[in-house]
Amino acid sequence: MRQEDSRPFARELLARRAGPFALAVVLAFALLPLGGAKTELAWAIPAAVIAIAIGAAAWLVPWSNVPKPLEAVPPLAFFPVVALLRESQGGELSGLGPLLLLPVLWFLLYGSERQVIAAVAGVALTLVAPIALAGQAPDSAEELHLLLLWTAVAVVVAFTVRRLMNEIRRQSAELERLASTDSLTGLPNRRVWEDALPRELARSVRSGAPVSIAMLDLDRFKAYNDLHGHQGGDLMLKELAAVWPGELRDSDLLARFGGEEFALLLPDCGAADVLRVVEKVRTATPTEMTSSAGAAVWDGVEEAEELLRRADDALYEAKRGGRNRTIVAGHGKRPEPAGA
């Protein structure tokens, strides 16, 4: 199923993600005159130009259409801004150190591990570049202390926050898995199926490809439960969950809808194929149990609820007709039962 673009510069997420970063740049320039040293415009103006370019690029460039590595350019471009701000203050680092952490935090939240490492290296390079390239020594022991301090802080922040973010992502993924998976069978649950169906219908509108659904229900499952106990019934449901997906394509979606009822979403499957596909799944039911199915082909205009209602009606028709069969809504096709 098609997923929403969640990359750092995806347009629908840009305002929320770029806002704090852009605000920090604005505050850096707004508070610059409050520094102790006289601001040298020859350095401050280029810094302002780059900062404006960063903001403009973040807002205007369609980042979802450019190679992913280029998404790192605006945050990394903030390092020259800090370097120029430092020069505009006569080389003093006081007050500018925290700004060096902004690209690091950006990549911790939205970037890859390599980008985080690159940001930490950018911190160190921005701090030592005047010494290494221009031969400028720190004005005092305090200035040297600040250089070492902010380099160490960047490393500690990167290591600590990265571990925290990895744990948050792991727990988030686990919560999402639990929220979208049926605990007994391990299949997607009803919530996943109901979210997927409207998306697939919308995709069908764009592509013109057919969509079909089916509802499958175990026959006389209550009697089976009474005979074998609930544990036996649970084992049967687990066995079905292990067998039925093997009869489907990767693009198909089989979900436990509730109790002994299952829902099947079949993209790119129309009237010519739906009966064959559903029967292939249904007849894979273990021999000690039978199942009935009702299928419906989307007509291209009806709501998801109406499509589901037609499949349900077809399922009830299959039950009334003797069970152990598939009925396709509007087709009246009744294949001969495979067994008793």
Among all residues, which ones are annotated catalytic? 260
Side-chain-facing half-sphere of 9: CA atoms under 13 Å? 23
Q: State the DSSP code for 68.
A: G
- The residue type found at 173 is A
For residue 238, the SS3 value is helix
Cα–Cα nearest to 33, from 25, 41, 21: 41
Residues 122 and 173 sit within 8 Å (Cβ to Cβ): no
Residues 160 and 126: their CA atoms lie apart, in Å, by 22
Write phi, then psi, for 252 (nearest 5 degrees).
Answer: -80, 155
C-alpha 328/C-alpha 326 separation (Å) is 7
DSSP per residue, 82-97: HHHHHHHTTT--TTTG
Q: CA 19 to CA 15: how far, in whole Å?
A: 6
